[in-house]
Chain A
Amino acid sequence: MRRSGESRYSWGGDEHLVVQFAEAMSLEVNFTAMAVSKILNDERLPGIVDICPANASLLIRFDPDVVAPADVEATVRAAEEKVAGAPARSVETRIFEVPVWYDDPFTNETGARFRDRHQRPEGNDLEFAAVENDMDSVQAFIDAHSGSPWITSMVGFVAGLPFMFQMVPQERQLELPKYLRPRTDTPALTIGHGGCFACIYSVRGAGGYQMFGVTPVPIFDPEQRLADFNDFMVFFRPGDIVKFRSIDNAEYDAIRAEVEAGTYRYRQRPVTFDLDRLLADPDGYNAELLGALYGS
């Protein structure tokens, strides 16, 4: 299939179109994927079944009995051209807090069980992460992980699992390989990391990302027990801005009790996210976003 500009269009069988905007990850390319998705969502061409923005690409699932593949391609190309002509540099979204018990016993026990699949036999994944990122302590790594906010660049893998990209310059991105061979088990609500992406495992299951801790807060709730899930069983949406906050065992237990009682609410605020302001002054702009979240 021909290429338009930098992007690569390709058919995934007779029901999918995949657009690769770039091979490398960046906030700009993720913004493009989200902006094209938004136009397609607003247009709602009949026969388009799923519009799945990813980190640096876009997956469209369509029903070829309803819409001709060529029409799907033309619609997506038009949306991409629209975005290229008037790049979306800001987005209305929300910022919320995810409390994390780093270095917890659940992920440490699981990590120890699958050590033969890991690059570094000694220590745990956090110690490996600190060494790989030239930090002098695990605490320094946790401070970097929980200091600056992250943007949700993709939702998927399994139900409601967010991929998050930290809103810092590339030289400060935390980068780590995945496990040499994937684990067959990961605790639910594990905070994971692979490549430059953080994730939260929405359900217990297989996984290959390094494990740093657990959150007491559900992100996927098929029974929709908590008020934050009234609208939908999945909490995360692409574009959500996330601030991790380090908590201890006691606070983890206290929040779990609130979740069990059905009273827990996410701390969250609506914000306008401006890409150019972030790129111009990451720390200053992030401080402003956190001010909006914590009301300072």
Chain B
Amino acid sequence: MAVEIVEPGLASSIQDRGRPGYYSVGIPPSGAADLPAAVAANLLVGNAPDAAVIEAPYMGPALLFDAPTVVAVTGATMPVLLNGAPAPQWESFPVAAGDQLSFGFLQAGARIYIAVAGGFDVPVVLGSRSTYALGGFGGFEGRNLRKGDVIPIGPAQGAPGRAVPGELRPAYSREIELRVVLGLYDYRLTEAGRNCLLESEWTLTPVADRTGFRYSGPVLEWEERIQPFGAGSDPSNIVDAGYPIGSIQVPGGVEPIILHRDAVSGGGYAMVATVISADLNRVAQCSPGTRTRFVPVTLDEALRARADDQARAAKLREALEATP
């Protein structure tokens, strides 16, 4: 069977859990920006957690099914419509041949995840079905989805009628605290600059995509120095280095950028902190205008947050596997 893209949305792409292991040659991990939401969508329809789903930011696509199957939509709060009639979110439901799935306007969050029983069956490239659009490979023909694309679906039974319990559904806010581990090149900031990073309220700009999320706010102050050989003349410049996923760089001291799962793997701007892995998924559900604070945590606190998220994921798995 296959799904036809009737309307593509804004920047919809095929993603799975990503393509680790090639960052040293500039190929980022990619994968669903909000991984727990993608995993939930897969478990709802009875897929393995790493099956390929559609990730759609801000605006849902319209999909036409050529055979009966089971679908589920998770992530951002957005009305789900089956042939124009309301359908549930965070629940799996059956669709028939000729049915069309579409969406209303975004209400909260930023990215929805659409899973179909059997998963979107695009070729595996370097171990993953995830789209890496900048490199032009992975996903469907190495690019975001377009009107008229027909995407094959793998064989599956499907599991209709599964629902994520209310207490395990995330709530999205336009005000968020992101936990960060300070370090990397933060010694290049003055004490006032470091304080300013942590004490200011930052606003997410419209430059917010799978590569990075850019924030507006005050200007950060750097230590004066004679720049080391090869670094470039601006005080925010360093000799080009590797960029961690989630690292925050501040080119010119203005507009911090959080690198996300399609990150550029390195460059010449000083990074001053890194968003912890648990909160990177929450960054993915921020839309432009979201007011953001960076809260410093230790590595141990970051690991505890990661463990808390994993405990929640395990609870979700149990809840869904207990239902039909």
- The reply on A203 being an interface residue by CB < 8 A is yes
Contact A203 B134 (CB under 8 A): yes
Q: Which residues of A contact B299 (CB under 8 A)?
A: 11, 14, 69
- Identify the interface centre among B242, B244, B264: most chain A CB within 10 Å of its CB: B242
Which of A50-58, A97-105, A277-285 lies at the binding interface?
Answer: A50-58
Residue B154 lies at the interface, judged by CB distance under 8 Å to chain A:
no
Shortest B194–chain A CB gap in Å is: 14
Residues of A within 8 Å of B142, CB to CB, are: 222
B35 contacts A by Cβ under 8 Å:
no
Q: Check A14–B302 contact: CB distance below 8 A.
A: yes
Q: Does B148 contact A (CB under 8 A)?
A: no
Do A24 and B244 form a contact, CB below 8 Å, given A156-B24, A222-B142? Answer: no
CA separation between A69 and B137, bound complex, in Å? 32
A72 to chain B, nearest CB (A): 11
Residues of B within 8 A of A1 (CB): 183
B268-324 residues with Cβ-Cβ distance < 8 A to A are 268, 271, 274-277, 299, 302-303, 306, 310
Q: Are the C-beta atoms of A13 and B274 separated by less than 8 Å? A: yes
The answer to whether A12 and B181 have CB atoms under 8 Å apart is: yes
Assembly CA distance A51 to B303 (angstroms): 21
The answer to whether the Cβ of A25 comes within 8 Å of any Cβ in the partner chain is yes
B137 proximity list for chain A (CB < 8 A): 222, 233
Rounded to whole angstroms, the CA-CA distance of A154 and B181 in the bound complex is 25
Decide if B86 is an interface residue (CB 8 Å cutoff).
no
A residues in contact with B126, CB < 8 Å: 233
Q: Is the CB of B228 within 8 A of A25?
A: yes
Range for the number of chain B residues in contact with chain A: 35 or more
Q: Which of A13, A15, A20 contacts B241 (CB 8 A)?
A: A20
Confirm or deny: A112 has a beta carbon within 8 angstroms of a beta carbon on chain B: no
A238 to B184, CA, bound (A): 23
A contacts with B: majority SS: loop
Which stretch of A121-129, A189-197, A254-262 is in the interface?
A: A189-197
- Whether B245 and A15, one on each chain, are in contact in the complex, defined by CB atoms closer than 8 angstroms, is yes
Residues of A within 8 A of B306 (CB): 14, 64-65
| Contact status B267-A12, CB under 8 Å | no
- Contact in complex: A203, B135 (CB < 8 Å): yes
Q: Report Cα–Cα, A232/B303, bound state, in Å.
A: 35
In the complex, A280→B20 CA distance in Å?
A: 41
**In the complex, which residue of chain B has the Cβ closest to the Cβ of A182?**
B251
* B181 surroundings in chain A (CB, below 8 A): 11-14
Given A16-B245, A24-B228, A220-B135, verify A195-B240 contact (CB < 8 Å).
Answer: yes
B170 at the interface (CB under 8 A from A): no
Does A18 lie within 8 Å of B242, measured CB to CB?
yes
Query: Is the CB of A234 closer than 8 A to any CB of chain B?
Result: yes
Instruction: Verify B25–A155 contact, CB threshold 8 A.
Output: yes
Complex Cα distance, B125 from A237, in Å, reads: 20
Bound CA span A175–B81, Å? 58
Complex interface bits, B218-251 against A, C-beta within 8 A gives 1, otherwise 0: 0000000000111111000111111111110000
CB-based contact A11/B183 at 8 Å: yes
Q: Which of B25, B266, B268 contacts A59 (CB 8 A)?
A: B266
Name the residue of chain A whose CB is nearest to the CB of B279. A13
Tell me the minimal C-beta distance from A200 to chain B in angstroms. 12
Q: Given the complex, which residues of A lie within 8 Å of B183, measured CB to CB?
A: 1, 10-12, 18
Q: Can you list 20 A-B pairs with a CB-CB distance of less than 8 A?
A: A11-B183, A12-B247, A13-B277, A23-B238, A49-B21, A51-B24, A52-B242, A57-B239, A61-B245, A69-B303, A155-B25, A155-B26, A156-B25, A157-B240, A157-B267, A158-B135, A160-B27, A195-B239, A195-B268, A205-B134
